[in-house]
Amino acid sequence: MSEWRYWLNEQRGTLIGLAIFVLMFAVYIANHPAGLTANVAQTAANKGVLLAFVAMAQAMVVITAGIDLSVGMILVLTNCLASWIVVGTPMQTTAGVLGVLLAGTICGAINGLLVIKGRLQPIVATIATGAVYFGLALLLRPFPGGAVNEDLADAVTGRIFGIIPSSLVVMLVVVLLVWLPFRRSEIGRAAYAAGSAEAAAFMSGVPIRRAKLVAYTLAGLLAGVGGLFLTFFTYTGEAAYASGSGYTLWSIAAVVLGGVSLYGGRGSAVGAIFGAFAARTTGDMLFVFDVDPLWQPLLQGIVLLIAISIGAIGLLRVRNRLEWFR
C-alpha cells in the first residue's frame, strides 16, 4: 500500500464525518429560502461552533478510551463565571477571559486527577464532578442574568470583512493552538496509544498517565472556551441543568458522528467538529422543512439512531464471530 492509503485509512472517520456534514448542509442550504448568504452562514457557524468546542473536548478524552460526562456542566459553570467577570475595560475583559479559561482547565484537571491518581472509573467520576460543577454554577447564578463585554461578544460572533463568520476563525485558531500541537506531540501520540492498547503502551514505556491527564485537562479548557462562547452568544449566564446535560449528550453524539471510536485510539478532534456541525444541521434542517416544532425532538432522535446504526454495517465484514467482542 502506498503512503496516502495509510493516511486515508487513518482519517476515514474524520472524512466520513465531513461527508455527512457536507451532505446535510447542502440539503439544508438547497431548501433554505434565502440560500447561502453571509447571514445564514454566520448563524449556522455560531450555533455549530458552540457544540463543536464541547465535542472537541469530548473527543480529547474519548481518544484515550475515557469519557467525560461533565463537559456540559463545565460549559454551564464557565458560562456563569464569564457572565460575572468578562466585563469592563479591555484589560479587565482580558483578565476575565483568562480567568474563565483557567477555571475550565482546573475543572478538567480535577477530572483527570480523579481518574488517573484516584483510579476511579471515568463514567462515575465525571458524573460526580459534573454535579459539583453544576452546584458551583448555581451558586454563581441562582437566577439567569449577568452581562458580558458586548464589543468583544459582537466581534467574535460577527463577520470578518462582512463575509467570513468570525466564530469559525476563532475555532480554527483554537484547533491550531490546542489540537494540532497536542496531536503532533509525544503526549498526543501517547494518548492515542493509551486508547488503542493501554497495556502494550505501558509496557513500551509510553507516558500514558501524563497523556491522559493532559487530555482531560485540555478537555476542560475546550469546554471552558465553549462556555465563554455561550456567554458571547446569549449575553447572559444561566445555570440550567437541562442545558448542561443536553450539551454532554450531544457532545457524545457529535463525537460518534465525527468518526471517533468510543473504544479509544481512533479519530480526531477535527472529526468531532464536523460531527458537531452535522448534529446542529439536523436541527436546522427540520426548521427549513417547516416541521411542526413538536416533532423536532423525535425526528432528531430518529436521525441520531439511524446515524449510529450505520456504524453497525462493519459487522457484515466480520468473518470470525469472536471479533464481535472487543
Partner 1 sequence: MTEATENRLSLRARLPGPIRRADPAVLTSFGCILLLLFLGSLYSSNFLSPEYLLQQLKVASFLGVIAAGMMLVILLGHIDLSVPWVMTMGAMMACAAAGFGSTVIAIPFGILCGMLFGLLNGFGVAYLRIPSMIVTLATNVVAQGLMVLYTGGFSPQDSAPQAMRWLATGYIIPGVPNAILVWASVSVAMVFLLTRTTFGRSVYGIGNSERAAYLSGINTRRIVMVAFAVSGALSAFGGVLLAGYASKAAQAMGDAYLLPSIAAVVLGGTSILGGRGSYLGTVAGVILITLLQSILSVMQMPEAGRQIVYGIVIIAMLLLYGRNPASR
User: Per CB under 8 A, does 283 bind partner 1?
Assistant: no
Q: Which grid cell is 202? A: 505501558
The span from the CA of 192 to the CA of 268, in Å, is 10
Q: Residue 160 CB: number of other CB atoms within 10 A? A: 11
User: What's at 121, amino acid-wise?
Assistant: Q
Tell me, by CB under 8 A, how many residues bind partner 1: 54
Site for partner 1 in 251-270 (CB under 8 A): 252-253, 256, 262-263
User: Per CB under 8 A, does 241 bind partner 1?
Assistant: yes
Residue of 7, 13, 6 whose CA lies nearest to 261: 13
Q: Which helix (H) or strand (E) holds 165?
A: strand 164-165
Q: Which of 136, 155, 156, 175 binds partner 1 (CB under 8 A)?
A: 136
Binding segment for partner 1 (CB under 8 A), chosen from 125-133, 155-163, 222-230, 267-275, is: 125-133
Q: Residue 225 CB: number of other CB atoms within 10 A? A: 26
Q: Which grid cell is 205? A: 514505556
The span from the CA of 217 to the CA of 81, in Å, is 18
User: Per CB under 8 A, does 134 bind partner 1?
Assistant: yes
Cβ proximity to partner 1, 87 vs 304, nearer residue: 304
Using CA atoms of 251, 324, 197, 72 in order, give the dihedral in degrees to the nearest 10: 10
Cβ proximity to partner 1, 43 vs 296, nearer residue: 296
User: Per CB under 8 A, does 197 bind partner 1?
Assistant: no
User: Per CB under 8 A, does 295 bind partner 1?
Assistant: yes
**CB 139, min distance to partner 1, A:** 4
Cβ proximity to partner 1, 91 vs 199, nearer residue: 199
Q: Which of 23, 30, 131, 177 binds partner 1 (CB under 8 A)?
A: 131
Residue of 58, 7, 20, 13 whose CA lies nearest to 266: 13
Cβ proximity to partner 1, 91 vs 294, nearer residue: 294
Per the CB < 8 A criterion, the answer to whether 134 and 239 are in contact is: yes
Q: Which of 94, 234, 243, 245 binds partner 1 (CB under 8 A)?
A: 245
In whole angstroms, how far apart are CA 281 and each of 25, 29, 191?
6, 10, 30
User: Per CB under 8 A, does 132 bind partner 1?
Assistant: yes
User: Per CB under 8 A, does 106 bind partner 1?
Assistant: no
| Interaction site with partner 1 (CB under 8 A) | 67, 114, 118-121, 123-125, 127-139, 142, 199, 202, 241-242, 245, 249, 252-253, 256, 262-263, 294-302, 304-305, 308-309, 311-312, 315, 321-322, 324-325
